[in-house]
Amino acid sequence: MGRIDRQLRPKVNNYELTVEKGDGYDLNRSLFERLVMEGHPYRALSKQHRMRPEISALVRHLTYPDLTDGPGTTSRPSIRGLQNTIIFIDHNHPEDEDSSLFDPKHLGATTSKRNKFEVDMVVKIVRYLKQQGYSSSEVTVLTPYLGQLVGLREALGTSNEVLVGEMDTEQLEVAGLRELLGKLTLSDQRTQPLKVATIGEIPRLSKELLLIPWDIDNYQGEENDIIVASLTRSNSEGNIGFMSSPERLNVLLSRARLGLIIVGNSETFLKSRGGKEIWSKFFDMVKRLGYFYEGLPVRCEQHSDVEDVLKVPEAFETLCPDGGCSEPWFV
């Protein structure tokens, strides 16, 4: 039988013992999934109260066809300064290898992934959102790879406090890195930090890391007003690693209440072998509904007829350095 939901399974650090490996150990199969497989009656939640209808339509199309919207979701405001609620920013800038980190989801892998172009774009997008009046606590940055998260943390940390979740704090303690805790913003402090988290990666702890991220298992169930996601993978072979999982795409799409901005190379994901089916459905819908762009589609809040698409990080400084446009402002 197929799975009854598209949530990520519990974490198992040894891939050989997982359902995905297929050797029968299935240690990451939850108790509830086992009960359903044995024929016990169940009821699945069908109404969501988190996302604007435009966002939930993606989830409904890809994974939950019976999902309905709660009444409070239809009155959610649009994102200030943007032309759309959902935005996919397409590019062809290649990924990099980070030899100091590894990807534990891939057996034998010795590196993690980075994409400098996406780091630079995400930094500018976060700054632009703050210029529209959004606080750091209203924005979460997600990425699949630890290497990319470290790059984002380094770039964003110069102008934002970065939130470290409780589970990551515990991992630091276990790893004997307690001395780093004083340098990090903890989740129980009364601040407004920018949340940065990975999608599905369990990091190898090392003293070189200044930030240990949430992986998607920890972030699953969380939400925020605006999600900015860096997919990272960009190569001619169509290698997308563990982002071939429909569950990870589902969790990525279903975190945002008001707006979802994704930066990635669509060609890479459309070429992938393991995830081609689910990503093809995603991009078909994104293109059909007009969410597909070559940059960030901005709109001046003071002059609603002034719009532009910012394709490179440098364009933010030249076209909207203060979050608006070059036209005179009025009160």
What Rg, from alpha-carbon coordinates, does the chain have? 20
CB 215 within 8 A of CB 198: yes
The predicted structure's pLDDT at residue 237: 95
Half-sphere exposure of 301 (CA within 13 A, CB side): 14
The residues near 207 (Cβ < 8 Å, ≥ 6 apart) are 177, 180
Query: CA triplet 61, 66, 68: central angle to 5 degrees?
Result: 95
The predicted structure's pLDDT at residue 266: 98
Give the pLDDT band (50/70/90) at residue 238: very high
For the chain, the distance separating the N- and C-terminal CA atoms, rounded to the nearest angstrom, is 61
Task: Give the Cβ contact number of residue 261 at 10 Å.
Answer: 29
What is the percent of the chain where pLDDT is above 90?
43
The residue that leads in pLDDT, 38 or 211, is 38
Residue 292 has pLDDT above 50, yes or no: yes
The residue extents of the domains of the chain are 1-44, 49-319
In CATH terms, the fold of domain 49-319 is Rossmann fold (3.40.50)
The whole-chain average pLDDT of the chain stands at 79
The predicted structure's pLDDT at residue 6: 55
The predicted structure's pLDDT at residue 250: 87
Strand partners for 162: 194
Rounded to whole angstroms, the Cα distance separating 137 from 133 reads: 12
The predicted structure's pLDDT at residue 285: 97
pLDDT in tens, 125-141: 999 999 999 998 899 88
Rounded to whole angstroms, the Cα distance separating 302 from 230 reads: 29
Tokens of 143: 């990425």
pLDDT in tens, 166-200: 554 554 454 444 444 454 454 444 456 677 776 65
The predicted structure's pLDDT at residue 208: 38
pLDDT in tens, 203-227: 443 333 333 334 444 455 578 999 9
